[in-house]
């Protein structure tokens, strides 16, 4: 009972503190060096130059989340409440100087969840120093990086760890400590990443919904590398635009963001899932061709290090009928196919291994920016289906409202999502921006 | 020169063909003269803006529906002049308000006849998306301005015909009919009032695809920069069919800040703020 009054578990607190200290120290160190060298350069300049201004800004959002689960909880230990309220706080601080060529961004994140103490968590989404040079830029600290083009799966996106307690779509990410050098050329852009510290994936706790039958013990993760989360990871990306084509090529070497699971008993002899993180090599390609109303998208990966080498790809189209709803609203139709050739016993499980996604997007282009996105993913073999409907709208200059409905149907015991078959839910989020 | 002649001949034959009447040679000559005169006025308007280099503008958009409810958007725009008549300018628009779209950025490489290249940056997911630019006639941020009203105004995007000269406020204006030459425009024609003292676009009437009057744009508070380039600090667009209005007010426009081509790329979109 006592643990209910403790905001975060001790281990998590220590890791979070370590992350803040490491990224903070690195970012601060780098920015001091830059500030000193800049002021020296400034001092050497001829008199009459105006002082470089320091600009700062504070903004962010606070949200009230409400998840509604119509069905009762399935697994022992889960809180059997149909309503799951939580609060999210996400402020953002920015300081810049040298006309914006040097800046520090700080974006902490906090969720207070009434029921699941794993979902009750904090993170440093961003804490970075950035310098923008002439045709190059350097970033030191924690940040988020997105790669890819497809909508229903983000196959090539690998830099950041998924914040798995946030949502089931995998689009919420933990801040990744890194040094990132970007070089811009006329023939394309190169980005080099060195990542000194690995972030473990978050999973719902014993009391939470949307979890596996056996809870995941995130405090005892295991690693292929003896350096564990301090294994240095590296990535290289080349991207370019060739007329109507946007192309990205990348290679990643390091700790797999997706864990495998090992079943082990805890101190009381109860079985639990231990995440195991392999060292992998992954090469990837992502392409988008934009031809008028048609967007053609494709992503592919080749991965080594988890059982047999395997490939996976996602590809599809998006076609938009502009201005056909009312006077101004657009209707977009999407279709994507996902293939994954991994050995599901030796590699982390993949839900989308032979699946088709079809969806529709409605953008009303109104003052309130009203959007809808509805889709279904169907497994080609089992015909298991996952439906999702998302809608969002601005209420006024400071408030927005979002709703997400997620329903699964026809899941068999073979499906990875079988354990969440009773976790269909509606999520409503009311956000205030400041 | 021969290109211009050819296009004039072509427009003439088109006029003759579509009107379905046999025009007298005198009428034909008048028509040709009006086209030449309209084109000259537009060329003068275009020429007076050559060499502006780059600009950085700070603006507020005030949207008003027919009930008088207002909402505000704030944004900044960096524009880079790309010299030559066959390519358009590059522009980067960054949104500051409403706060839920703060940091969203929009990069556009204007073309004359081909669709523009456009990318959108979504800060919440840190994603840069290449988007279709077919949507020229769509509303910009729910306002009465369409994308095509705000994208780079290039000489060759229209054909021109002089209609008449008439007083416009304290000034004397040339009234010119402009027809979009690019695909997917929401307009069949625009009637533009150019003042004859500085060749500024004082007013534009937009006609929809059915040929009905759709919107009127009135520009005011013109200021001259670098002793040469005029910019309106107030643009008021009224939709006659819906009763909605949008006022675009500029608080600051700076010229020749040394914006580089390498600062307006898909990859640098990720670091704007």
- Supply the CATH number for residue B226's domain: 2.50.20.10
Asked if the structure places residue A343 within a domain, the reply is yes
- Interface membership of B102 toward A (CB under 8 Å): yes
Tell me whether residues A59 and B99 touch, CB distance under 8 A.
yes
CA A173 to chain centre: 3
- In the block, which residue shows the tokens 């579509």? B18
Residue of B71, B138, B266 lying closest to A328 (CB–CB): B138
Mutate to test the interface with B, among A295, A397, A401, A402 (most CBs of B within 10 A): A397
The DSSP call for residue A73 is: P
Asked if the structure places residue B12 within a domain, the reply is no
- In the block, which residue shows the tokens 């706790």? A205
- Interface membership of B65 toward A (CB under 8 Å): yes
The number of folded domains in chain A is: 1
Closest listed residue to residue A244, CA positions, set A291, A306, A204: A291
Asked if the structure places residue B183 within a domain, the reply is yes
Tell me whether residues B130 and A146 touch, CB distance under 8 A.
no
Angle of CA points A410, A203, A2, to nearest 5°: 125
The number of folded domains in chain B is: 1
Contact present, A103 and A95 (Cβ < 8 Å): yes
CA distance A284 to A302: 6
CA distance A22 to A136: 25
**In A, which residues are within 8 Å of B99 by CB distance?**
59, 61, 397-398, 433-434
Closest listed residue to residue B242, CA positions, set A328, A427, A337: A328
Asked if the structure places residue B219 within a domain, the reply is yes
Contact present, B174 and B41 (Cβ < 8 Å): yes
CA distance B4 to B8: 6
Residue of A nearest to B62 (CA): A367
Tell me whether residues A137 and B139 touch, CB distance under 8 A.
no
Residue A316 bridge partners (DSSP): A297, A336
Closest listed residue to residue A163, CA positions, set A192, A135, A125, A126: A125
Domain that holds residue B125: 54-271
Q: What pLDDT does residue A43 have? A: 44
Asked if the structure places residue A51 within a domain, the reply is no
CA distance A250 to A287: 12
Contact present, A88 and A82 (Cβ < 8 Å): no
Asked if the structure places residue B171 within a domain, the reply is yes
Minimal C-alpha gap between A377 and chain B (Å): 22
CA distance A127 to B123: 15
Interior/surface letters B238-263, b for 16+ CB within 10 angstroms, e for the rest: bbeeeebbbbbebeebeeeeebeeeb
**In A, which residues are within 8 Å of B130 by CB distance?**
246, 288, 290, 295
Q: Is the ipTM of this complex over 0.85?
A: yes
Asked if the structure places residue B29 within a domain, the reply is no
**In A, which residues are within 8 Å of B265 by CB distance?**
184, 189, 241
Tell me whether residues A295 and B130 touch, CB distance under 8 A.
yes
Q: Which helix (H) or strand (E) holds A318?
A: strand A310-325
Asked if the structure places residue A297 within a domain, the reply is yes
Residue of A94, A246, A433 lying closest to B130 (CB–CB): A246
Angle of CA points B121, B124, B125, to nearest 5°: 75
CA distance B202 to B223: 13
- In the block, which residue shows the tokens 């120290």? A25
Tell me whether residues A293 and B97 touch, CB distance under 8 A.
no
Output the domain CATH number for residue A391: 2.40.160
Mutate to test the interface with A, among B67, B92, B100 (most CBs of A within 10 A): B100
Contact present, A209 and A200 (Cβ < 8 Å): no
Mutate to test the interface with A, among B101, B113, B142 (most CBs of A within 10 A): B142
Question: What tens-digit pLDDT sequence spans chain A (434 residues)?
Answer: 334 334 445 555 556 566 666 666 666 666 665 655 555 544 444 444 445 689 999 999 999 999 999 999 999 999 989 999 999 999 999 999 998 899 999 999 999 999 999 999 999 999 999 999 989 999 999 999 999 999 999 999 999 999 999 999 999 999 999 999 999 998 999 999 999 999 999 999 999 999 999 999 999 999 999 999 999 999 999 999 999 999 999 999 999 999 999 999 988 889 999 999 999 999 999 999 999 999 999 999 999 999 999 999 999 999 999 999 987 899 999 999 999 999 988 999 999 999 999 999 999 999 999 999 999 999 999 999 999 999 999 999 999 999 999 999 999 998 889 999 999 999 999 999 99
Tell me whether residues B98 and A397 touch, CB distance under 8 A.
yes
What predicted TM-score, i.e. pTM, was given to this entire model? 0.88
DSSP letters spanning B126-176: TEEEEE----TTSBSTTSS-BHHHHS---GGGEEEEEEEEEEETTEEEEEE
The CB-side HSE value for A4 (13 A sphere, CA atoms) comes to 5
pLDDT per residue as tens digits for the range B228-251:
999 999 999 999 999 999 999 999
Closest listed residue to residue A102, CA positions, set A168, A49, A27, A155: A27
Asked if the structure places residue B6 within a domain, the reply is no
Angle of CA points A14, A18, A22, to nearest 5°: 175
Contact present, A31 and A102 (Cβ < 8 Å): yes
Minimal C-alpha gap between B41 and chain A (Å): 33
CA distance A391 to A405: 9
Residue of A nearest to B270 (CA): A145
Domain that holds residue A429: 2-45+64-433
Instruction: For chain B of 273 residues, list the mean pLDDT of each consecutive stretch of 10.
Output: 43 47 72 94 94 95 93 95 86 94 93 88 94 88 91 87 95 96 92 96 96 97 96 97 96 94 87 83
Asked if the structure places residue A55 within a domain, the reply is no
Residue of A184, A292, A323 lying closest to B262 (CB–CB): A184
CA distance A151 to A141: 28
The DSSP call for residue B7 is: H
- Positive or negative, the CA dihedral A235, A238, A239, A245 is negative
Asked if the structure places residue B26 within a domain, the reply is no
Residue of B72, B102, B126 lying closest to A146 (CB–CB): B126
Asked if the structure places residue A59 within a domain, the reply is no
Q: What pLDDT does residue A1 have? A: 35
- Interface membership of B210 toward A (CB under 8 Å): no
- In the block, which residue shows the tokens 């024609």? B189
Tell me whether residues B125 and A171 touch, CB distance under 8 A.
yes
- Interface membership of B137 toward A (CB under 8 Å): yes
Residue of A nearest to B143 (CA): A367
**In A, which residues are within 8 Å of B132 by CB distance?**
290, 292-295, 320, 322
Mutate to test the interface with B, among A134, A180, A290 (most CBs of B within 10 A): A290
Residue of A148, A292, A398 lying closest to B115 (CB–CB): A292
Tell me whether residues B262 and A94 touch, CB distance under 8 A.
no
Residue of B71, B127, B132 lying closest to A320 (CB–CB): B132
Asked if the structure places residue B9 within a domain, the reply is no
Helix and strand numbers (H, E) in chain A are 1, 21
Instruction: Establish, for the pair of chains A and B, how many residue pairs have beta carbons separated by less than 8 Å.
Output: 94
Tell me whether residues B132 and A394 touch, CB distance under 8 A.
no
Report the phi/psi class of residue A112: left, alpha or beta, with left for phi > 0 and alpha for psi in -120 to 50. beta
Angle of CA points B24, B25, B27, to nearest 5°: 65
User: Alpha helices, DSSP H only, in A87-187?
Assistant: none
Residue of B98, B130, B260 lying closest to A394 (CB–CB): B98
CA distance A402 to B18: 51
- Interface membership of B257 toward A (CB under 8 Å): no
Asked if the structure places residue A57 within a domain, the reply is no
Helix and strand numbers (H, E) in chain B are 3, 13
Angle of CA points B98, B103, B109, to nearest 5°: 110
Q: Tokens for A273, please give them.
A: 């899932």
| Residues sharing a CB contact under 8 Å with residue A227, sequence separation 6 or more, in sequence order | none
- In the block, which residue shows the tokens 């700080």? A106
- In the block, which residue shows the tokens 């370590």? A18
Tell me whether residues A397 and B135 touch, CB distance under 8 A.
no
């Amino acid at each position: 009972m006592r643990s209910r009054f403790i905001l975060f578990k001790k281990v998590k607190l220590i890791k979070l503190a370590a992350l803040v200290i490491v990224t903070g120290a690195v970012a601060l160190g780098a920015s001091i060096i830059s500030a000193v060298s800049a002021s020296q350069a400034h001092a050497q300049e001829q008199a009459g130059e105006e002082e470089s201004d320091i600009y700062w800004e504070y903004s962010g959002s606070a949200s009230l989340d409400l998840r509604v689960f119509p069905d009762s909880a399935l697994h022992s230990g889960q809180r059997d409440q149909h309503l799951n309220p939580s609060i999210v706080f996400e402020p953002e601080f920015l300081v810049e100087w040298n006309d914006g060529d040097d800046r520090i961004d700080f974006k902490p994140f906090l969720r207070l969840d009434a029921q699941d103490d794993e979902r009750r968590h904090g993170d440093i989404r961003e804490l970075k120093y950035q310098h923008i040079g002439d045709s190059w830029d350097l970033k030191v600290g924690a940040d988020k990086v997105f790669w890819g083009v497809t909508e229903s799966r983000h196959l090539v996106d690998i830099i950041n760890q998924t914040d798995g307690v946030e949502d089931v779509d995998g689009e919420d990410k933990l801040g990744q400590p890194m040094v990132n050098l970007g070089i811009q050329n006329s023939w394309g852009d190169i980005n080099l990443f060195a990542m000194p510290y690995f972030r473990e994936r978050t999973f719902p706790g014993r009391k939470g919904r949307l979890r596996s039958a056996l809870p995941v013990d995130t405090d005892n993760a295991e690693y292929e590398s003896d350096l564990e989360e301090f294994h240095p990871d590296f990535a290289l990306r080349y991207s370019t635009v060739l007329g109507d084509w946007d192309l990205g090529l990348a290679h990643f070497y390091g700790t797999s963001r997706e864990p495998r699971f090992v079943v082990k008993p805890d101190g009381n002899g109860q079985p639990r899932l231990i995440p195991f993180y392999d060292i992998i090599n992954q090469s990837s390609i992502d392409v988008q061709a934009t031809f008028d109303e048609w967007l053609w998208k494709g992503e592919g990966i080749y991965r080594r290090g988890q059982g047999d080498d395997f490939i996976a790809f996602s590809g599809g189209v998006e076609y938009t009928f502009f201005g056909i709803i009312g006077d101004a609203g657009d209707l977009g139709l999407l279709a994507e196919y996902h293939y994954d050739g991994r050995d599901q016993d030796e590699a982390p499980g993949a839900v989308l291994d032979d699946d088709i996604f079809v969806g529709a997007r409605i953008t009303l282009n109104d003052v309130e920016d009203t959007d809808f996105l509805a889709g279904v993913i169907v497994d080609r073999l089992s015909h298991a289906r996952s439906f999702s409907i998302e809608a969002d709208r601005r209420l006024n200059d400071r408030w927005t409202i979002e709703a997400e409905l997620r329903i699964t149907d026809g899941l068999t015991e073979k499906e990875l999502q079988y354990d969440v078959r009773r976790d269909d839910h509606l999520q409503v989020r009311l956000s205030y921006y400041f | 020169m021969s290109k211009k002649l050819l296009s004039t001949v072509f427009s003439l034959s088109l006029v003759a063909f579509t009107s379905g009447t046999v025009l007298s040679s005198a009428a034909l000559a008048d028509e040709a003269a009006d086209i030449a005169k309209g084109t000259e006025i537009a060329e003068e308007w275009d020429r007076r803006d050559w060499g502006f280099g780059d600009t950085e503008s700070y603006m507020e958009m005030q949207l008003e529906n027919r009930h008088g409810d207002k909402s505000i958007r704030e944004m900044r725009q960096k524009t880079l002049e790309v010299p030559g008549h066959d390519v358009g300018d590059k522009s980067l628009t960054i949104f500051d308000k409403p706060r839920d779209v703060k940091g969203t950025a929009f990069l556009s490489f204007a073309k004359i006849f081909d669709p523009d290249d456009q990318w959108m940056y979504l800060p919440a997911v840190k994603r840069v998306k290449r988007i279709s630019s077919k949507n020229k006639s769509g509303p910009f941020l729910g306002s009465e301005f369409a994308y095509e009203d705000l994208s780079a105004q290039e000489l060759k995007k229209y054909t021109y015909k002089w209609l008449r000269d008439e007083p416009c406020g304290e000034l004397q204006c040339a009234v010119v009919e402009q027809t979009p030459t690019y695909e997917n425009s929401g307009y069949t024609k625009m009637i533009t009032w150019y003042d004859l003292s500085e060749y500024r676009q004082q007013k534009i009437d937009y006609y929809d695809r059915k040929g009905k009057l759709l919107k009127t744009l009135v520009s005011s508070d013109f200021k001259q920069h670098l002793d040469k380039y005029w910019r309106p600090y107030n643009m008021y667009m009224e939709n006659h069919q819906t009763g909605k209005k949008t006022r675009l007010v500029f608080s600051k426009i700076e010229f020749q800040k040394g914006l580089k081509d390498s600062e307006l790329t898909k990859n640098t979109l990720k670091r704007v703020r």
